[in-house]
């Protein structure tokens, strides 16, 4: 029996699969067992054609390929090369178990790239399960970004066979590629940022309160909702928020690239966080993930370490908004199905945009609102108190004025966010201010005496919930960091209170 190693996806993580083969005497047959998907069972024809096209005779034996463990469903065409090598090298005495082998085969024996390959290998590397792998030559450029793995690129089945025949002489095809972007180092960790701003805050005229809130949101990763008339700049600010978010470490850049691959895009490997903007007609399964047999990742999981933007917030389905409360609070999403239970990380910055009423003119000084009080109340009642309680910053946009002018650029705002990021990391925080737990709040969100008195008065006057109190402290911490203040002062608490939702 011969064996090499491959992998398949279960949720967002890769599972190691041992590909075993036996060639025995008997009536010629070729079978693949071990809960293989259609794409894998179809590999039989691709493998036969590839072997015959490369001057290998297909052995007239009873061939059985087993994919272990047999109780895990296997999917993907990355098993083709493993199966073909086991058949072609059945005579080889060398141990092949240390090799991970990935690749889809063409009928002519060419080794092709698989869209799942990058996230698969990255997941294995994060779990420290892989040290060297045979991969398609065309995948080397992106795979070389993954550290601590030796990659051997092959263009044809013949190349892979020759490589395994001469394992002792084999050399990795590429050296590990470095990330080349502006960066700085804190506690031996390199943080990278992009100083390119496709959408600039200079395009947003006026709206100084909203831009200040956007700066606070970006610096501390605070959830934010903009409310205002149509055309006042809500979506403009949300799109530009992506470019001023905090820098990313190399591991975080690789994770972002992994999510881009899962979404079907070519990973860019730029220190730019993801931006997911589902339409309000999207189903619950598309936003949170799901599937009857295999729980696939949704918009919430794809927004991990980036922005999840809900435009026209009240028009999202009630069950979607209520289900969003869990990932907004716990920074993860759980999907339970009969066949599987999957947990995805979902540490995102939530951005919402909404009109003040169904017609949108309630806050417009120049246009008359056509909505009745009942319609306005029904519109606002689409958002429940528990959902709104998970929003840190509630911003009422100003009316558009012809005298409005540009003020801060994205570059200036990003520089301030980077300074706050340095303060946070030098303080010893692992998480952003908005993501601090109760023990971290006690440790890092230290209030001055005046600030304590101000917060106590606010608790009595506004009957704040425990969650609201913690959020005010965390927003105050970010405002203090923007002022480079060690303590949270009275003015910081007052500003944090000004961003509370008004009933």
Query: What string of H, E and C letters represents the secondary structure of 41-80?
Result: HCHHHHHHHHHHHCCCCCCCCEEEEEEECCCCCECCCCCH
Please report the pLDDT score of residue 295 as a whole number: 66
Q: Point out which residues pair with 151 in neighbouring strands.
A: 133
Using DSSP's 3-state secondary structure scheme, residue 308 falls into: strand
Cα–Cα distance, 357 to 376 (Å, whole number): 5
pLDDT of 177 > 80? The answer is no
Q: What does pLDDT average to over the chain?
A: 90
By the 8 A CB rule, do 356 and 228 touch?
A: yes
186-435 is classed CATH 3.40.640.10: no
Please report the pLDDT score of residue 334 as a whole number: 83
Average pLDDT over residues 2-27: 88
Please report the pLDDT score of residue 364 as a whole number: 85
Q: Residue 276: which of 308, 248, 245 has the closest Cα? A: 308
Q: Domain-by-domain residue ranges, the chain?
A: 2-169, 186-435
Q: Give the tens place of pLDDT for each residue, 281-333.
A: 999 989 998 765 666 788 999 999 999 999 999 999 999 999 999 999 999 98
In CATH terms, the fold of domain 2-169 is Ribosomal Protein S5; domain 2 (3.30.230)
Farthest CA pair distance, the chain: 88
The pLDDT confidence band at residue 228, using thresholds 50, 70 and 90, is very high
- Element housing 38 (H / E): helix 38-41
Please report the pLDDT score of residue 267 as a whole number: 84
pLDDT of 11 > 80? The answer is no
Q: How many CA atoms lie within 13 A of 401 on its CB side?
A: 10
By the 8 A CB rule, do 393 and 210 touch?
A: no
pLDDT of 175 > 80? The answer is no
To the nearest 10 degrees (0 to 180), the angle between helices 410-426 and 466-482 is: 110
């Amino acid at each position: 029996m011969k064996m090499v190693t491959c992998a398949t996806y279960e949720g967002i993580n890769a599972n190691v699969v041992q590909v075993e083969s036996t060639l025995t005497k008997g009536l010629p047959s070729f079978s693949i067992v071990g809960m293989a998907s259609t794409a894998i069972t179809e590999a039989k024809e691709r493998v036969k054609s590839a072997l015959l096209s490369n001057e290998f005779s297909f052995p007239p034996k009873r061939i059985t390929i087993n994919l272990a463990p047999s109780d895990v469903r296997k999917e993907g065409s990355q098993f083709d090369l493993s199966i073909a090598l086991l058949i072609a090298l059945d005579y080889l005495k060398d141990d092949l178990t240390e090799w991970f082998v990935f690749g889809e085969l063409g009928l002519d024996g060419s080794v092709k790239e698989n869209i799942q390959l990058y996230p698969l290998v990255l997941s294995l590397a994060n779990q420290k399960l892989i040290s060297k792998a045979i991969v398609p030559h065309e995948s080397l450029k992106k795979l070389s970004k993954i550290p601590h793995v030796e990659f051997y690129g092959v263009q044809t089945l013949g190349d892979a066979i020759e490589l395994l025949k001469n394992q002792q002489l084999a050399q990795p095809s590429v050296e590990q590629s470095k990330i080349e972007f502006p960066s700085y180092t804190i506690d031996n960790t390199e943080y990278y940022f992009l100083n390119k701003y496709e959408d600039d805050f200079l395009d947003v005229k006026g709206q100084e309160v909203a831009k200040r809130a956007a700066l606070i949101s970006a610096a501390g990763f605070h959830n934010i909702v903009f409310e205002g008339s149509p055309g006042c700049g809500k979506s403009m600010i949300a799109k530009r928020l992506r470019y001023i978010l905090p820098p990313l470490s190399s591991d975080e850049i690789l994770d972002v690239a992994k999510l881009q691959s899962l979404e079907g895009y070519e990973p860019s490997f730029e220190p730019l966080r993801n931006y997911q903007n589902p339409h309000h007609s999207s189903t619950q399964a598309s936003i949170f993930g799901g599937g009857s047999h295999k729980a696939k990742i949704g918009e919430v999981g794809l927004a991990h370490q980036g922005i999840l933007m809900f435009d026209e917030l009240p028009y999202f389905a009630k069950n979607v908004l209520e289900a969003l409360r869990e990932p907004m609070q716990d920074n993860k999403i759980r999907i339970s199905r009969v066949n599987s239970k999957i947990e995805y990380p979902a540490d995102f910055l939530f951005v919402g945009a909404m009109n003040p009423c169904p017609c949108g003119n309630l806050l417009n000084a120049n246009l008359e609102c056509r909505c009745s009080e009942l319609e306005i109340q029904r519109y606002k009642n689409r958002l429940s108190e528990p959902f709104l309680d998970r929003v840190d910053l509630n911003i009422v946009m100003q009316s558009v004025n012809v005298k409005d002018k540009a003020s801060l650029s994205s570059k200036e705002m990003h520089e301030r966010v980077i300074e706050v990021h340095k303060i946070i990391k030098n303080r010893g925080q692992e998480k952003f201010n908005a993501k601090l737990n109760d023990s971290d709040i006690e440790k890092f969100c230290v209030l001055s005496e005046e600030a304590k008195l101000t917060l106590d008065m606010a608790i009595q006057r506004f009957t704040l919930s425990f969650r609201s109190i913690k959020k005010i402290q965390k927003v105050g911490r970010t405002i203090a960091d923007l002022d480079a203040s060690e303590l949270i002062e009275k003015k910081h608490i007052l500003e944090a209170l000004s961003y509370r939702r008004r009933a």
